[in-house]
Amino acid sequence: MSTQIGLTILRVFLGAMLVIQGSQKLLAGPQGFIGYVQSLGAPVPELAGWLVMLGEFGLGIALILGVFTRVAAGLVALMMFLIWLATAAGQPLFTEAPGITAGLLWFYFAAALALLFSGGGSLAVERLFGRKKTAPAERIPDPQPTVTV
């Protein structure tokens, strides 16, 4: 049971952090973040900006609830890797600069990978509604060998 509680803590915390970051970008005005993405030289900056903002917010909600946890975690890992490539590749993991640094991106990436491979745990919404309990299968006895004399 302690493993399930640990997975739940990881899932909810990662999801909450993503929701907070996505909300900040959306509430501050999406054009500011889209301008930042454009300054990075990203192709199709408006699409990339919206994907990050809505991805952080939506995938964060999915993780908090534990809905499509493995898919959401896989998309978060991919998003964090792509953000690292666009913003921090080749930079030191830890700097004195405020905001998201490469070390934090790698933390998000690793946490998402852990959830991708383990799932959201028994306390996730998908576990409550997704699996039907079935009766255990009956064991079919091995046939007795025939003995001929």
Q: What is the pLDDT of residues 68-91, one digit of tens each?
A: 999 999 999 999 999 888 887 777
Where in the sequence is the domain holding 15, given as residue range(s)?
A: 2-129
The answer to whether residue 116 sits within a structural domain is yes
The answer to whether residue 146 sits within a structural domain is no
pLDDT tens profile 20-70: 999 999 999 999 999 999 988 888 999 999 999 999 999 999 999 999 999
The answer to whether residue 145 sits within a structural domain is no
The answer to whether residue 144 sits within a structural domain is no
pTM over 0.75: yes
The answer to whether residue 105 sits within a structural domain is yes
Q: What is the 3-state secondary structure (H, E, C) of the chain?
A: CHHHHHHHHHHHHHHHHHHHHHHHHHHCCHHHHHHHHHHCCCCCHHHHHHHHHHHHHHHHHHHHHCCCHHHHHHHHHHHHHHHHHHHCCCCCCCCCCCCCCHHHHHHHHHHHHHHHHHCCCCCCHHHHHHCCCCCCCCCCCCCCCCCCC
The answer to whether residue 141 sits within a structural domain is no
The answer to whether residue 138 sits within a structural domain is no
Total domains in the fold of the chain? 1
The answer to whether residue 11 sits within a structural domain is yes
